[in-house]
Amino acid sequence: MESDSNDPAIFSKLLLGPGPSNVPERILKAMSNNCISHLDPDFFEILDQISENLKQLFKTNNKTTFAISGTGSAGMEAAFANIIEKDDKTLVFSSGLFGNRMADVASRYGGKVIEIKKQWGKNFRIEEMKETIDSHKDLKIVAIVHAETSTGSLQPIKELGEYIKSRDIIFIVDCVTSFTGINLEVDNWSIDICYSGTQKCLNVPPGLSPITFSEKALNKIKKRKEKVTSWYLDINLLRNYHEESRIYHHTAPVNMLFGFNEGLKICLEEGLQARFSRHQKVSKYFDDIVKSTDFSFFVDKEYESLPMLKSLVLPESIRDEALAITFRMISAVRDNQSLVLISPNRKLTRMVSAYLSNWGIVPDDSAGVPLQLTPPGRFLRLALNLLKGPATATRVFSLLKHPIAHSVENYRVDHLNFVPF
């Protein structure tokens, strides 16, 4: 069978979803190196580099800092699997999908979960979180998502960590979306367990979960009355491999770790502050464009909105539920001054065509060159160009040529969610 490994229609797409994101050539090259043994001394040196690089990016001195073999969800599982003992009272502040998932995972490991829910896209205020903590005696764990992928909301957590640190409570933070995209200070914010993923702001393929444990967390784990339920995610066993003992646990994904280490180096070379500023700059450019359209922001307060991930509410004119769902099947392609819409749903195509024609965008049946965007980005790229004067297909795609948007690296703010309600 002929290989399709070089098919540009498959492998040259510009990814604008919440993750994965496009992978720099430098990382791909590192991953393509010949595989070596996971017990090779040279590989152990790479693991040590990863640990040290992660400490800088997490802003922590925690010795137990490494990458778990598995996606960010494996980091979430590892956090709760290791820290929860039967009937441990666990408080989860939830304002989105991943807060909900934290509560679910905690309950599966035997925790007595108290899930405090907030309307999606709304943040918890520090005073209400303090009051909630004070109202529940014998709390063992408090967990929260720093940057909620499902809504694009940024939850301040510094004061929460300060409030918890002097208590016999473990503070767990999900920073899958925030890590290296906005400021995160594990030690200064008194975070005990913090985990992330590789496929978002780091631009590394999915498959690893950076994680760090404080001494406070490790001490609780040492005092467990029973073994950690998960063998694969048992931090005691994983430490024996990642730290001095180098005792075999599982076959580490060697080449994935090559790429991960390269991604960490790229981040450190740019510098965290420069990276944060870049995201803020592109975020402002993006927000200004959205404000000129009939889209609206799901997170209504700008200071609570993530700079590198945006959630938009569809305009009333196209908010029909079926339309919102089946927009995923639309592919927009450019052909000179025209636009080609490809969809298995003829009715949908007619609806979209009618909407676009209001703005001078004329759909066309001729062939074109595919615009390589993930589904949410496809329509957004059109909708954001509801600017002054009639729009043409050339205008629709002009954002890609903006100086700030010159490269994928600089335009990664286009990680998007659509909220169909």
Question: Which of 192, 104, 90 minimizes the C-alpha distance to 142?
Answer: 90
Question: Which of 293, 256, 288, 304 minimizes the C-alpha distance to 119?
Answer: 304
User: CA Rg, the chain, in Å?
Assistant: 23
Contact 396, 340 (CB under 8 A): no
Ranges of each domain in the chain: 25-269, 272-419
Number of alpha carbons in the 13 Å side-chain half-sphere of residue 95: 24
Contact 9, 342 (CB under 8 A): no
Dihedral over alpha carbons 330, 336, 338, 339 (to 10 degrees): 0
Distances (CA, A) of 222 to 30, 114, 213, 218, 263: 37, 25, 12, 6, 33
Helix (H) or strand (E) holding 372: none
The pLDDT value given to residue 302: 83
Helices (H), 245-320: 254-270, 272-291
**Angstrom distance (rounded) from CA 333 to CA 121:** 33
**Angstrom distance (rounded) from CA 281 to CA 123:** 23
The pLDDT value given to residue 404: 29
- Judged by DSSP in three states, 339 sits in strand
Q: 1-24: string of b/e by CB count within 10 Å (b at 16+)?
A: eeeeeeeeeeeeebbbbbbbbbbb
**Angstrom distance (rounded) from CA 30 to CA 256:** 9
Number of alpha carbons in the 13 Å side-chain half-sphere of residue 12: 8
- Judged by DSSP in three states, 225 sits in coil
- Pair of tokens at residue 141: 């764990």
Which residues, in sequence order, are CB contacts of 297 under 8 Å at separation 6+?
A: 287, 290, 305, 310, 311, 312, 313
- Residue 208's φ and ψ, nearest 5 degrees, are -135, 155
The pLDDT value given to residue 379: 43
Give the DSSP per-residue string, 126-165: HHHHHHHHHHSTTEEEEEEESEETTTTEE---HHHHHHHT
- E strand residue ranges, 280-404: 296-297, 310-313, 331-335, 338-342, 363-364, 369-370
Q: At what angle do helices 41-58 and 254-270 cross, to 10 degrees?
A: 40
Question: Which of 240, 104, 96 minimizes the C-alpha distance to 177?
Answer: 96
What are the residue ranges in the chain where pLDDT is below 70?
Answer: 1-5, 314-421
Contact 81, 113 (CB under 8 A): no
The pLDDT value given to residue 370: 28
Q: 198-219 pLDDT, tens per residue?
A: 999 999 999 999 999 999 999 9
pTM of the model: 0.78
**Angstrom distance (rounded) from CA 96 to CA 81:** 22
The pLDDT value given to residue 346: 53
Question: Which of 213, 206, 204 minimizes the C-alpha distance to 243?
Answer: 213
Pairing between β-strand 170-174 and β-strand 139-145 as defined by DSSP bridges: parallel
**Angstrom distance (rounded) from CA 75 to CA 233:** 9
Question: Which of 90, 76, 159, 88 minimizes the C-alpha distance to 123?
Answer: 159
- Residue 163's φ and ψ, nearest 5 degrees, are -70, -30
Domain 25-269 architecture = 3-Layer(aba) Sandwich (3.40)
Q: 21-68 pLDDT, tens per residue?
A: 889 999 999 999 999 999 999 999 999 999 999 999 999 999 999 999
Contact 64, 239 (CB under 8 A): yes
